[in-house]
Amino acid sequence: MILKSETLELREDNAVVRVRQRARALAIEIGLGLVDQTKIVTATSELARNTVDYGGGGTATLDVINEGNRRGLKLTFSDQGPGIENIDLALTDGYTTGGGLGLGLSGSRRLVNDFSIDSTPGIGTTVSITRWI
């Protein structure tokens, strides 16, 4: 169940900072500890940058969710960019098409509890992450 939801535009690198700050605020609000806050905010930064740099911009949706008796922060990053041809390859440490370190997707997955990615070439990419308390 979604307790609270907000969607932010992701068009340029300043927007990455805004999404990061909202993720931090919500992480504190639901009571995540400092290390868990830092993990989800760092994963947010990586994925928001991907949306801007590779997806040509898109949106970030931040949901406070409830499942049974646990609460979590779920972030969904969506773009209508070129999509990812080979998701397994994109999830490999060190693989990059953009000259970065190739840790964005693979590293983010390690920082959260749930991770899902859905991408169709020519249509776009959606990545969701959740950190439970």
The verdict on 50 binding other proteins (CB under 8 A) reads no
Characterize 9-40 residue by residue with b for buried, 16 or more Cβ atoms within 10 angstroms of its Cβ, and e for exposed: ebeeeebbeebbebbbebbeebebeeebbebb
Give me the residues paired with residue 132 across strands.
72
Least gap, CB of 120 to other proteins (angstroms): 25
* Binding piece for other proteins, criterion CB under 8 A, among 38-46, 61-69, 80-88, 117-125: 38-46
Q: Nearer Cβ to other proteins, position 1 or 34?
A: 34
The verdict on 20 binding other proteins (CB under 8 A) reads yes
Question: From residue 96, how far is each of 21, 56, 59, 67, 92 by CA, in Å?
Answer: 26, 16, 22, 35, 9
Q: Map residue 62 onto helix, strand or coil.
A: strand
Least gap, CB of 124 to other proteins (angstroms): 22
**Residues 91-130 interacting with other proteins (rule: CB under 8 A):** 93, 100-101, 103-104, 106-108, 110-111
* Binding piece for other proteins, criterion CB under 8 A, among 34-42, 57-65, 73-81, 116-124: 34-42
